[in-house]
Structure 1
Amino acid sequence: MGTKIRIFLLIIFMQISISYQKTDLVILMALQTAWPNTTLNWKGSDPCDGTWLGIGCTNSRVTSLILPSMGLTGGIPGDIGEFTELQILDLSYNKRLTGTLTPAIGNLNKLTNLVIVDCGFTGRIPSTIGNLERLLYMSLNSNGFTGPIPATFGNLKNLYWLDLSGNKLTGSLPVSDGLTPGLDLLTNIKHFHFGNNQLSGDIPPTLFNLNMTRILHLLFDHNQFSGSIPSTLGFMQSLEIIRLDGNHLSGQVPSNINNLTSLNEMFLSNNILTGPIPNLTGMNLLSYLDLSNNSFDQSYIPSWFSTLESLTTLKMHYTNLVGELPAALFSFPQLQNVDLSNNRINGSLDISSNPSKQLELVDLRTNLIEDFVQRDRYTIDLILVGNTICTELGVTDYRFCSLVPMNTSTLYSTKYNNCVPSSCDLGLLPSQNCHCAYPFIGLILFKAPSFSTLENTTIYDSLHDNLTAYYQKVKLPVDSVLLNNPNRNLVDYLVIKLYIFPSGEPSFNRTGVIGVSFALSSQGFSSPKGFNTYTFIPENYLNFLSDIPGPGGTKSHSSSTGIIIGSAIGGCVLVGLLILAGIYALRQKGRAERATQQKQPFASWDLEGGSGGVPELKGARSFTFEELSKYTSNFSEINNIGRGGYGMVYKGTLPNGQLIAIKRAQQGSTQGGLEFKTEIELLSRVHHKNVVGLIGFCFDRSEQMLVYEFIVNGTLKDSLSGRSGIRLDWIRRLKIAVGAARGLQYLHDLADPPIIHRDIKTNNILLDQRLVAKVADFGLSKPMTDANRSHITTQVKGTMGYMDPEYYMTQQLTEKSDVYSFGVVMLELITARNPIENGRYIVREVKQAMNKDMELYGLHEILDPIIGLSTQLKGLERFVDLSLRCVEETGKLRPAMSEVVKELESIMALVGLNPGTGSSSSTSAATNESTGKDFSHPYSNDSLFAYSGGFLPPKLHPK
């Protein structure tokens, strides 16, 4: 009898287990349907048999779903909330996962780790996440989330890591009020990472209380917080890092700030703090201090300057310091960088008494220093420009009286392991062990490193060694790692390019990429001392090996159990397999179509016109090769008007007499294929008098040609350089600026979809017979769809000198990237200088030369003499102010193109021009004063300056 009962109970247990397993299977099938065009290799009826990619199980239940860097596309369906046993969810680095985050995530009651980093999610963060009381670790950073931080997060009593940085969150920090929860109830929290959002309001004093003394990292930088720094911050004596920089904080720094004796880094710069400079006596572990750009009271050099012996970096420019620097400051053994520029430091500078061997830069420009004492010839970069010592006679060493280019990156790269790298096939790179392979590549951004040096290779070697040891320890298929080009970005993060190479094969399989990604998304890798917290932003990995993992996991069933299960769900399995086979066939077909599309951008276009396969092009027509050959006299040399990186440019004449310019791609070259198609699709929908008109295209006989209206007066660059023979006075340059700005505003605000040009420069602004400016060359342009309305994360492309440094560093392209480029064009208009000339950057040159107290801002020597020959330069100061607003280092400080147009129109009115027409009775249309000889044509894109990926040399970075 007992045996029968045991068998009966076993059958009941197996039925329950089968029911749970079937539920997990159904949920996974729902996810696979929601994520089309991805290969997850989910086959069979048992997701816990060890072959399902990214699935982890315990007792035949799905407990982890880990799929970072898998190219997932779509959204997260509400079905995911039915994973009743799920403990870990990591969907990071899937940039095409978009839409809002489903509130059903709040049903995952056993979830401990929620990791969704660097995806494309938008909208509000669901308040239901506050139901996940077991949650320990949550990273939702580097998405596009908006709205406030949910107050329900205060219910997450066990949470120790909360990273919401790099989103667009707004509103104030929620704290409890007796009725609703708040962040002040997170008694186990160690990490508040809220940087790079749009959070505002006061930092609540109750956020810091005696129940929250475990906080280690407080990263609130680059938001819009206002009010004062609460004195309750002084209770957080475990704090190691504070970043409050880049806000609108005011008032005095709390006097008890020096209670934070565990603090390693403190960033309070770029606020409007007032009162005395804070007393930091006793903060002996402080290594990185930045109080710059605040409104402190005038203060004598504080005594604690001589006591903080752990300092590597001291930054206090624009802080109203007065007095003589103590020589002891420069002898701190770890000191690397001192920036006390733009203060009122005076007396004698003495760095002769045993200076730190790590000291690299002392920037004391624009102070009142009268003398410099040196025992031996110094090797540091010392800047005393603008001090008394550099303006008086008798100075024998002028080296410190000239500016040193600021070093924002280094050419460091990990050394090879006693081998010489051989040449690899296209796309493959040599590993540290000189094996050719496809590495997993990305940027690792350290948010608060304790050092400022970029030259000490020992520091990066330690990071390399720690990474290597970690991957060996966790037994991932990693051959080696390489580090390349450490540099500082605009928000003072340390950015390093990381290459992770596969072991034993030329490529990672999908399981390997999941492993190396998860180690970084979940902070499984602990960075070595000094580097501190980080974010990893990978590139898409496109070179997977076939991912067919062998059997494994915890699958263990007896034959009798297998018979019971088989008989119970055999029919379901058969149906499931048929469904999976159909899905797989459809996917394979889709993959084949996408591969064809990549190799042949026009594969889906019926250019003969029979099936209507060509998209509606609104006026642009398809030409045959024979037609264009006829219009150009068989592409004769006499009609060749230029050459660019794309190919040759020919002048032609249509049967109706209209002049055309034909861009003809180089034969046998695939370069430009996608740009070619992009330009057709975008320009066919763009119709504005300040944007060049596309007449048609040719895709015939393997030829790629674009047909434009012919613009007789060439590029703005030609006229500014004198090649065209056109003389541009101040009035004409204003008209050109307004016309180009209107064209760019049209692309941003009125085109459907809106377009980011991505390569605005004087070579891409054309002048017609009346010198009307027209924006041209859309080969690098990107449309802004609803899914990426805020920004586009894309490979960096553009032209050196015009490129937005924020886009270059973050790979996030916005309309403000075009605004930056247009600001450079404006400076080029008034100076006629190249953006980069003899290693000098036009933005920096104008900023350093200008003096707002002088007429024309004192820019007489840098202005192009031609603009002053025929008229006074009325409005030039406003023009310069506008251009410098356009080239602000961060996009949020730059105006929109609509604002640029309004200001330029206002300047036009000031000088007597009609902003509506751009005409003036005193200024007629310019004529071509050349001898009639053809010059290099506008459509000849100058490829010598084209940039696509990699790092710019340090001297090209605008400071």
Structure 2
Amino acid sequence: MSPESISGHHYFFFIFIFLIIICPSSSQSEPRQILLKIKTNFADSSTLQVFTTWNEKNPVCNFTGIVCTGDNSVKEINLPQQQLTGTLDFDSICSLKSLDKITLGSNLLHGTITPHLSNCTNLQHLDLGYNHFSGEFPEISSLTHLQFLNLNLSGFFGQFPWKSLQNLTNLTYLSLGDNPFEITPFPSQILNLEKLQTLYLSNSSIQGTIPEEIGNLRSLQSLELSDNYLVGAIPPAIMKLTNLQELEIYDNELTGTFPVGFGNLVLLTKLDVSNNSLEGDVSELRNLTRLESLQLFENMFSGEIPVEFGDFKFLKQFSIYNNKFTGELPAKIGSWSDFEFIDVSENLLTGLIPPDMCKNGKIFDILMLQNKFTGGLPESYANCSSLTRLRVNNNSLSGRVPAGIWSLPSVKLIDLAMNLFEGEVTPNIGEAKSLQQLFIANNRFSGELPPEISQVSSLVEMELMWNQFSGEIPARIGDLKKLNSFHLEGNFFSGIIPESLGSCVSLSDVNLAGNSFSGEIPASLGSLPSLNSLNLSGNKLAGVIPASLSSLKLSLIDLSNNMLIGRVPESLLAEAYDGSFAGNPGLCADGRRDLRECSMGSRKSGDLDVAKYCFIAGALVLVLSSLACFLLVKSRRKDRKAVSERGFSWDMKQFHVINIDEGEILRSLKQENLIGKGGSGNVYKVELGCGKKLAVKHMWKSSIDTGDRNTSVETILPKQKSRWPEYDAEVATLSSIRHVNVVKLYCSITSEDSNLLVYEYMPNGSLWDRLHTYQKVDMDWNVRYEIALGAAKGLEYLHHGCDRPVIHRDVKSSNILLDEEMKPKIADFGLAKIVQTNKVMDSTHVIAGTHGYIAPEYGYTFNVTEKSDIYSFGVVLMELVTGKKPVQTEFGENNDIVCWVHNEMRRNDNPITLVDLNVSDDWKEDAVEMLMIAIRCTMKIPAMRPSMRMVVQMLERIEPRSPIDVVIDNDIHIDKN
């Protein structure tokens, strides 16, 4: 066919076919170029495996992560968890007109999202969660087809465009949580999204109440509003959400009870309302038989656990700790399902431990501490190979521990402390290859420590104190290379301290006090690189102190009450407190008041004999002096009629050298000299004829016996008259305290039914007076800081510097007295307890302390620890910084300054507003730093609080700058501006 014969129509047809052959399809080239352009925005895209298919030769629909429609248009971009970095070009992305799904979650994307996102009008699914974007999220009201929106933990901040959600009525999944958005009331636009099945707004800075309109979202299956600032009650309208399977509203400030009808949410499998202020019983939950996870901890729930909980056949996780539940646990709880953990700690539960929670062999945590459980550990748990943590401390459990418990293969923590267990630790403990922490203190365990315990190479902490163990420490204890803390105090161990203990290279804390160890102190202890605290007091150790100990950097050393001889190494003297070497007549040191002087030949036995004779002679002189003092006191009793009208017999014991006329003191106890009243008596100001001023506390036995539960009870003693000598001994121990920040007790004057305690007089009264009463004065920050540091040093001495640690138990601003220079001194030891060797610390059934200062653990245990003092001191720091009292109406019902400060610091962007207005602006940042220390001191869990030694160190690190430094800093700031 000749060209001439081809009609025009056919000509153009051939041209069209030719163009198709020689030109690539626009449907292929345009998407390819767009995707390759998008690829260039990702860093290292050329090296990422996911992009090896993204090239000029490969069809677009074969690109990894790309899904196409039937006509080869790009429908989906799916690249989650690909370690993508870089930014997103939504101008290019949204030019893919058929695109309806973008999944780029769990990458490392950053930068801002441009408004071009609103051009992706066909999007149904958008997942940008778990990335590192910045800036505000753009307005997206045009994305009306959107069904799935996930921005969880994506990094966006500022004001979220809540109004744009009102057009997105097709949304079934909305997750905006864990982003630092601006605080906002509950967004009303969400309440009209009636197709929503999943709503995740946890940690989204939402405040106010949960609105009743939440009941509009009847398709909801999962509702998560946790970690916000929600207040008020759970709205009754929530019962309309009958499709709800998951409800999480923990970490808010919700109050009230579970609303009537809550049990109608019968499809619930997960319920978490923990860490709120909810109260009442939980009977509304008895019908939620599908529950798999029930978290009610850290609220104020009370009443008994419904017996129906024992029939929940799907329950795997049950946590109700830190409430006020009473009664018994259902015996069948956890026996039906693959039960995983139970935590019912810190309640008032009684009865037996349910026996079948490991029936299906899946449970890993049994946490039941600080209740009132009785009976023993069920034998059924001896074969629970899945168990990793067993904590039942501080109950009334008794009997022998089933032998299999000691050898559980997965157990990492066994905590049986503060019960009535007896029997031995069995040799099979050597099979517990995962055991890291063994806490069995304060029980009645006996027998020898089995040598097999040295095979538990994973052990990090071992606390066996205050039991009845005997025998020797296993010779191969040095095999425990990970052992960090080793406490055996208060037992009947004997024999030598094995040299191999020095091979426990991780040891930082060793306490073997109050046993019957003999022989010499192993020199190998000096090679322990991390040893921080060494207490070998109250044993029968002999010989010299090894010179190797000089290389240690100890924060505490106590070798008192042994039979040591020779010169104390100089470096240890620098680290020790008074009393660290007391009770060793054969020890000496130059220039120490608590030790005798060393002579040139002090190491010779003859000189040691002379030292012994001198010691005996000195003791005789002390006895004769005391007798003379006693006779002098007896001769003065004719002057006592001003106070002792009933002819009481008085005895005086002096603790400091001072010329005190007993009769003059007694005559001065008049109404006009009254300067204060306490829970156990009156305090008088006494001015002696020589001009000396004293403070005298007059306590009658009747007040001491009864004890007022609602006040600061200064001394609580049983009523038996036979216990008064113990009280005298306690006062005598306290009187031995010598510290510049502890008030000085000069003497005690006692009769049959009253006591006089004579203290140094503190002219500026108490810190409470200076902060909160009509005697209030303006204190600049330097004064407040010095008061805080001085009081901390006083408490540090009590906890760490005395022969036996002293726990004050009533630390408060009214017990911090101020001298004429506003220097602080800890006072009022009426509640103090001395930690005594060979003796379980005494406890009382009266809560010790003052409302507002009492540590939360007092609510469930009468055990006293130094951590309780630290909590109370944290309250004092808060008073110093804020100027507020521990309890004020502005904190809200049942709240105190600790709750208020913790909450305000969490949600307040400018914590400087918490600082007392009387503190100069120049020092408010310093004040906030002190407030941070106070927060650490008042942590709810005692173990999370620092020691007083650490508190002193933290306070020293925030020492106020000199005025010159402040002026220079201010000048620099002005110049910069």
Q: Which band: TM-score by shorter chain?
A: 0.3 to 0.5
The TM-score normalised by the length of structure 1 is: 0.42
